[in-house]
Structure 1
Amino acid sequence: MLVLKDSINTAIQEYKRGNLVEAQTRSEEILEKDPHHIDILMLLAAIAQKKCQFDRAESLYRQIIEIQPDGIMAYGALGDLYLLRYQNRWQDAIEAYQKVLTLNPSPKIALITHNYLGKAFIESGKIKQAIAAYQQVTQIQPNISIGHYNLGNALAKDQQFDEAIEAYQKAISLREDYYEAYSNLGNLLKAQGRCTEAIAAYKKAMAIEPNFERPRFGTLTSQIPIIYQNIEEIEASRKNYSQYLQVLVDRYQNATSEERAIYADAVGTSQPFYLAYQGLNDRHLQQQYGQAIVSLMHSRYPQWSQPPMLPPLQTNEKIRVGIVSAFFHSHSNWKIPIQGWVENIDRSRFELFGYYCEPKPDIHTKIAARSFDQFEMGQRSLEQWCQQIESDRLHVLIFPEFGMSSIALQLGCLRLAPIQMTSWGHPQTSGLSTIDYYLSSDLMEPENAAKNYTEDVVRLPNLSIFYAPLKLKPIQISRSDIGTKDDDILFWCCQSIYKYLPQDDDVFPKIARSLPNSKFIFIQHSRGKYVTDIFYERLRRSFAQFGLDSTQYCVFLPRMKTRVFAGASALADVFLDSIGWSGCNSTLESLDYNLPIVTLPRDLMRGRHTLAVLKMMGIEETIAADKDDYIKIAIRLGRDFKYRQAISEKVAVNKHRVYRDLEPVRALEDFLARTVGQKIDRPGERR
């Protein structure tokens, strides 16, 4: 017995020294004498994991469980194996950890298990269950800071921002140097529009850990508020952003390549999404920003810093086109433009590859997966995504948007295909030197569009998209449900309220003073009341200047689910397009209810979406020439029922022109073929 114990100790010591071959040999010798020795089987499983022999490790853990069905350690180790070593075996990990918890573990083991269970739930997209798991961690050990930090992360993913902020603050109170918690706290404060508080949190994170780069990007983007209290704030914030951006540019230019490689971890964690909502040309600022982050990513991944050679096309070979997106689910980016392109592109000429880089799968994900020849999704490292895309030897890689997905931006900073493109999922130039073309709409772009982009602009015909109306049955609601009367004139102002700039607030009271029974229906900001309160106060001031009470005219509805939103849309009399950043998805969806639409196009593409939709329908009388004209058209539609009805009927008769337009898809096919160098040969069209 003593000899066996010595042999076991020797095997364990060899393992600890890293002598895996010797440890395995000793362990197998022991098993010949005692095939059911639990400790040795556990040691062999650990050795297998060290050697990346994960299937063998799994088999050994299963063998231990057969011998000892109530063995907590084997189930826990099996859960860790599934969670940390395999891809996408989150449910197996969850089941293993849940089994541990049914076996009455000690408080210490229960604490660890709930923590890993929370991570498995996060990875599998089960955020509510992750919150419950992390709450168990904080109940078992209230004074463990990482438990509150992880709970904050899960709450943030569930859009419970106030609760997440409280969790981060608790983590910080337990550990004053918790710079990651300060950084994440800053992110949430920024998401709520509380930029001054966010900057203060970021400064604390940087003071604790100067080389932690994420708070610097957070501080940069916090210079741009979500919404503005007045016109002057726009100019001031833009100046602050420009100055801080130059600070970062100088920092990265003076850094070593090794330092830049470390800083690259922060790329995409906080993006200047709201810069585009100032209504100004951002090309110069975006180019500065793009150069900075491209330099970081190229320092980190030099193997993907140069464009690969364009694979030659063999006879009858298809052009390989990849699409990277975080929005292969119910999202405007899927509906516009991705779905229409991928479902209608000529599959005899093109092979499609989809890369779902930040998956939140739903029913639309299944539709998306069927639309590609190859569809990749799941939680992967950036390197794994790069390797996957590189191995597919694409001719063209398309990023439908930059500005909302961190992984898409990181990938877009690299050169993973010889030809790379973006589009107007977030209608703003990328500023990235790695992106060659910007796929846009001919009807939406002004004549001098090139000056707004760092990419070459491709003006696809009409709206540039193939759009099919939603097959959606609205939930019927009444006007009283939204606080309005039957004889009110309802102006549907359904855009995100940060699209409304202070210089245009006067359109609402100017309409209201001519239409006492008008009601303007707005949607509250989704991330707390701070942003909504600023807009509410702006409207109060603007109406007061005309001797009016904004509360008598402005209605703020909470964020609604799709079918409820559709039901509210159906109640409206007039769609009042936002000035500066025009509606697109919301405009197209309003066609279901034949609403007259008033729009005032501006100089940038993002201010001209509705203009293009109306031109497609041949309804140009509600396209305003200036703000006074916009107000005049809105008043006439509100006052003159017959005129309103006539415009509504024109929408009903002509909206089919907007739907299922294949011309942009055919033009996209031809552009891709020309760019790759393939001869275009359409029977009856070109020879």
Structure 2
Amino acid sequence: MAANVNPFFASRISQALERASTGALDEALAILKDCLEQAPDNADLRYEYGNLLFDAGRIEEAANCFRQQLALNPVDASALLMLGRALHRLKKPKEALHFFRQAQRLAPGLPVVHLMAGITALESHFWDEAKAAFNRVLAIEPANLSARLCLCMSRLEMFSGTAELENGRKAYEAALRELTQSVILDTQENIDRAFEAVGIMSTFFLPYQGRDDRELQELYGSWLCRIMAAKFPQYQKLYAQPPALGEKLRIGLVSGHLFNHSVWKIVARGWCKYLDHSKFMLFSYHTGDISDAATDDVRLFSDVLIKESSVGAMAEIISRHKPHLLIYPGLSMEPQSSRLAALRLAPVQCVSWGHPVTSGLPTMDYYISSDLMEPSDGEQHYTEKLVRLPNLSVCYEPLPLPGPLPPTKLPGINEGDITFLCCQNLMKYLPQYDDIFPAIACQVPTAKFIFLKFSQTHLDCFQGRLKEAFLRYGLEAEKHLVFYPLVNSLTYAVLNAEVTIYLDSIGWSGGNTTFESLPFDKPIVTLPGDFMRGRHTAAILTMMEVHETIASDKDDYVRIAVRLANDLEWRRMISQKIAANKCKVYGDQTPVRALERFMAQAVRAATANHFMRS
């Protein structure tokens, strides 16, 4: 607080902070709001008001408050830091990074500004900047666990070749093993630091490398559980109690993505909408900060919806509700739900394929997956017990198109070009499959491959790889590659409508993108991978009985793509088949009924096991 602050307002600020410390945030906010009406240009009042809004989870309002304060004092490093934190919570990492960079220049000796700059740089795929920021933290505080963990995660970047990917993976494993072995949870201070560190970043980028991640996920998951057990020892043992006669099973859904996100749209929405509420009560626990019209659907489909970003507060709420079974529809995407999942908050705890990789958590009992997506040896890829729900495992319903789609000439595309849409995150395109694109172009001279620019760093890496791949075939990559900036939903729909063929990524297949291509009946080429995450599109095509474009190997993938490009009649036949059969993908409630049976059986089994042990 500034030394020359008005004594009256200084007293009111102290009073508000005292009320906030007792949990009376609404009263504290009312005090400062009243003061701001009297002195709207008081920077101290505005800063403290923004902080309280942030603590209350009113993140949009907090961001606006800090913007207003920066209009009063553009060089306030504390306000820059808090605005960046608010924007980061709102999942706007690039915008947040802009303010963290300013805070770095104004407060270079403050570790937290470099840490947050590194985190948002990493999420924006500025890998070198992120590593430099984490190293600046460690130069100031060599033992900073948060920076050490973030530096470890930064090794999961996009690589220029297979050898570089393997070296990066080994470096990640070595750093992770060193962390898990060196962190000692012997004091409350050490426990708190570890808890804070694992709340900053998750293992989100690991599955993009196309390898079996079970061992590494188990290493991290076991460490996370040890930290959470030390922080919240009260949530380590839970004894299953059978439902009372006639009592509904209490089912909890825990996620930070209960808004218009693929985790909700694909995995959770249909389960929640069509759950039999005569037998089940649904408690939805939203750990994120974003709410929208989809969140309104969550509220409509749930008996109870709780929105709370504090791990401790949410754990207490869930424990008080005593759910019989919890489902985390996607883990390893954001740290809040992952930390909750590392606690034992229900007798039966499950994870599903919102982020299709094992959680590695010993607190997770089951992995809910799709029978059509899992390979025959799928059980080996999970630390959880694999549950294969029938068909796609979900009840997907297409969202309405964003509006009328006028015929549009795509930039960089000429009349007569055969356009292949390759719309995945560029990290999904692994180096060992780069030669697929020039192999197709050799036989389709007018081929244009359309990619989306997710970040300049990834674009530079990917373009460099493809340039070398095309040169090996005697072709110029520039004549066949088109890169568009990220687009809104309407422009993305237009893009799907205008392209000729959809090329699925290999290793990590399209899920949401494949579903969203179906309204346009475009032929889809896919090659099933070794893991569930590489088999989404093949399962969708199988549901539609479109087996012709599911390749058996790389050469077959190229052959199918070339035939679709050059054989107009066959291409039309495949499109017509998709048009006729995509109804089989939509609104399938068979998995919902199977999920209900599984949940009832799993709760009975947990109850029986408890009584047998007793």
> TM-score under structure 1 normalisation?
0.82
Q: Which residue of 1 aligns with 2:276?
A: 346
| CA deviation after TM superposition for structure 1 residue 355, in Å | 0.3
**What is the letter of the counterpart of residue 392 of structure 2?**
L
Segment drifting more, 347-356 vs 183-192: 183-192
Report the counterpart of residue 100 of structure 2 in structure 1: 168
Q: Deviations over 1:471-519 (max 9, x none)?
A: 2244525442433234221111111111111111111111112112221
Q: What SS does the corresponding residue of 2:103 show, helix, strand or coil?
A: helix
Report SS of the residue matched to 2:149. Answer: helix
Map of 2:228 onto structure 1: 297
Q: For 1:207 and 1:171, how far apart are their aligned partners in 2?
A: 17
Report the CA distance between 1:297 and its aligned residue.
Answer: 0.8
Cα deviation per residue 1:223-258 (whole Å; 9 max; x = unaligned)? 110x22111111011100110011012113x54254
Between the aligned partners of 1:512 and 1:425, the Cα distance in structure 2 is 34
Per chain length, whose mean CA-contact separation is higher, i.e. which structure has more relative contact order (CA < 8 Å, sep 6+)? 2
2:356 aligned partner = 427
Letter in 1 for 2:108: E
- Matched position secondary structure for 1:422: strand
Tell me the secondary structure at the aligned position of residue 630 of structure 1. Answer: helix
**Shift of the alpha carbon at 1:103?**
2.8
Give, in angstroms, the shift of residue 204 of structure 1.
2.5
Preserved CA contact (<8 Å) 1:122 1:130: yes
Asked whether the 8 Å contact 1:479–1:485 carries over to 2, the reply is no
Distance across 2 between alignment mates of 1:158 and 1:349: 36
Paired position in structure 2 for 1:409: 338
Cα distance between partner residues in 2 of 1:565 and 1:160: 20
3-state secondary structure, aligned to 1:482:
coil
- 1:464-543 to 2 correspondence within 5 Å? 464-525=393-454, 528-543=455-470
Alignment of 1:651-666 (within 5 A): 651-666=578-593
For the residues of structure 1 that align with 2:96 and 2:320, how far apart are their CA atoms? 40
The 2-side partners of 1:569 and 1:120 are apart by 44
Distance 1:553 1:239 in 2: 35
How far apart are the structure 2 equivalents of 1:465 and 1:386?
A: 27
Partners of 2:471 and 2:585 in 1: CA distance: 40
2:239 match: 309
Confirm or deny: 8 A CA contact 1:121 1:130 kept in the other structure. yes
Equivalent residue number for residue 368 of structure 1: 298
Alignment of 1:527-566 (within 5 A): 528-566=455-493
Measured at CA, do residues 150 and 118 of structure 1 come closer, stay the same or move farther in structure 2, by a change above 3 Å?
same
Distance of 1:453 and 1:567 partners within structure 2: 38
Which blocks of at least 5 consecutive residues in structure 1 are unaligned?
1-41, 43-70, 680-687
Q: Distance in 2 between matches of 1:646 and 1:262?
A: 60
1:268 is the counterpart of 2:203: no
Query: In 1, distance between residues paired with 2:95 and 2:248?
Result: 51
**Cα distance between partner residues in 2 of 1:142 and 1:373:** 46
User: Taking structure 1 as reference, are residues 157 and 357 closer, same or farther at Cα in structure 2, changes over 3 Å only?
Assistant: closer
- Determine the structure 2 residue equivalent to 1:184: 116
CA contact (8 A) 1:465 1:664 kept: yes
In structure 1, C-alpha distance between the alignment counterparts of 2:74 and 2:516, rounded to whole Å: 48
Partners of 2:498 and 2:467 lie apart in 1 by 25
| Aligned pairs (5 A) from 1:191-230 | 191-225=123-157, 227-230=158-161
Distance 1:620 1:563, change over 3 A: same
Contact 2:256 2:334 (C-alpha < 8 Å) held by counterparts: yes
CA distances 1:18-41 after superposition (whole Å, capped 9, x unpaired): xxxxxxxxxxxxxxxxxxxxxxxx
Change (3 A) 1:662 1:161: closer
Q: Structure 1's 638 and 125: CA in aligned 2 closer, same or farther, altered over 3 A?
A: farther
Indicate if the aligned counterparts of 2:349 and 2:363 stay in contact, CA closer than 8 A: yes
Q: CA deviation at 1:531?
A: 1.6
Q: What's the CA shift for 1:362?
A: 0.5
Residue matched to 1:249: 180
Cα 1:375/1:485, change in 2 over 3 Å: same
Q: Does 1:355 align with 2:295?
A: no
How far did 1:169 drift?
A: 3.6
156-165 vs 418-427, which moves further: 156-165
1:227-246 alignment, distance < 5 Å: 227-246=158-177
Q: Provide, for residues 307-365 of structure 1, a one-character-per-residue CA deviation record: whole Å limited to 9, x for no partner.
A: x1112222211111101011111010001110100111211111111001113110111
1:103 paired to 2:38: yes
In 1: Cα distance, 2:187 partner to 2:91 partner: 37
Q: Secondary structure at the match of 1:516?
A: coil
**Residue 313 of structure 1 contacts residue 678 of structure 1 at CA under 8 Å; is this kept in 2?**
no
Identical-pair percentage: 37
State whether residues 193 and 530 of structure 1, in contact with CA within 8 Å, keep that contact through their aligned partners in structure 2.
yes
User: 1:288 and 2:215 equivalent?
Assistant: no
Q: Which 10-residue stretch deviates more, 480-489 or 243-252?
A: 480-489
Give the C-alpha shift of residue 175 in structure 1.
3.1
Q: One-letter code of the match for 1:241?
A: Y
Q: Are the aligned partners of 1:290 and 1:433 in contact in 2 as well (CA < 8 Å)?
A: yes
C-alpha displacement at 1:215, in angstroms? 1.1
Verify: 1:134 aligned to 2:63, yes or no: no
Preserved contact between residue 84 and residue 95 of structure 2 (Cα < 8 Å): yes
Number of the residue aligned with 2:506: 579
Query: Residues 78 and 126 of structure 1: is their aligned pair in 2 closer, same or farther, counting only changes over 3 Å?
Result: same
CA contact (8 A) 1:286 1:430 kept: yes
1:160 CA drift (Å): 6.0
State how far apart, in whole Å, the 2-side matches of 1:659 and 1:516 are. 37
* Aligned equivalent of 2:552, options 625, 628, 646: 625
- TM-superposed CA distance for 1:123, in Å, is 6.2
Distance 1:431 1:257, change over 3 A: farther
> Which range moves more in the overlay, 406-415 or 467-476?
467-476
Contact 2:222 2:361 in 1 (8 A): yes
- Counterpart CA distance in 2 for 1:161 and 1:255 is 31
| TM-score, length basis structure 2 | 0.91
- Counterparts in 2 of 1:457 and 1:114: CA distance versus 1, 3 Å: same
Structure 1 residues 486 and 218: alpha-carbon distance in aligned structure 2, compared to 1, 3 A threshold:
same
Give the AA of the match of 1:565: Y
Superposed CA RMSD: 2.7
| Contact 1:171/1:178 (8 A) holds in 2 | no
The residue number in structure 1 matching 2:390 is 461
What residue identity is the alignment partner of 1:658?
A: V
Distance 1:304 1:422 in 2: 18
- In the alignment, is the contact (CA less than 8 A) between 1:257 and 1:299 conserved in 2? no
Tell me which of 562, 568, 574 is aligned to 2:495: 568
- 1:353–1:128 distance in 2 versus 1, CA, 3 Å: closer
CA–CA separation in structure 2 for the residues paired with 1:495 and 1:613: 17
Q: Is contact 1:260-1:295 (8 Å) kept?
A: no
Residue pair 2:549, 2:560 contacting (<8 A) in 1 also: yes
Query: Does residue 278 of the first structure (1) align with residue 209 of the second (2)?
Result: yes
Q: Distance in 2 between matches of 1:281 and 1:437?
A: 18
**1:676 and 1:397 mapped to 2: Cα distance?**
11
- Relative distance call for 1:127 and 1:485 in structure 2 (3 A) is farther
Q: Is the 8 A contact 2:13 2:48 kept in 1?
A: no
Amino acid at match of 2:81: Y
* Match runs of 1:327-346 below 5 Å: 327-346=257-276
How far did 1:83 drift? 6.9
Check whether the contact 1:328–1:359 (CA below 8 A) recurs between aligned residues.
Answer: no
Q: Which of 538, 543, 547 does residue 616 from structure 1 map onto?
A: 543
- The change in CA–CA distance for 1:162 and 1:560 in structure 2 (over 3 A counts) is closer
Query: Pairwise mapping of residues 15-94 of structure 1 onto structure 2 (< 5 A)?
Result: 89=26, 93=29
Q: 1:600 to 1:147 in 2, by over 3 A?
A: same
- TM-superposed CA distance for 1:523, in Å, is 1.1
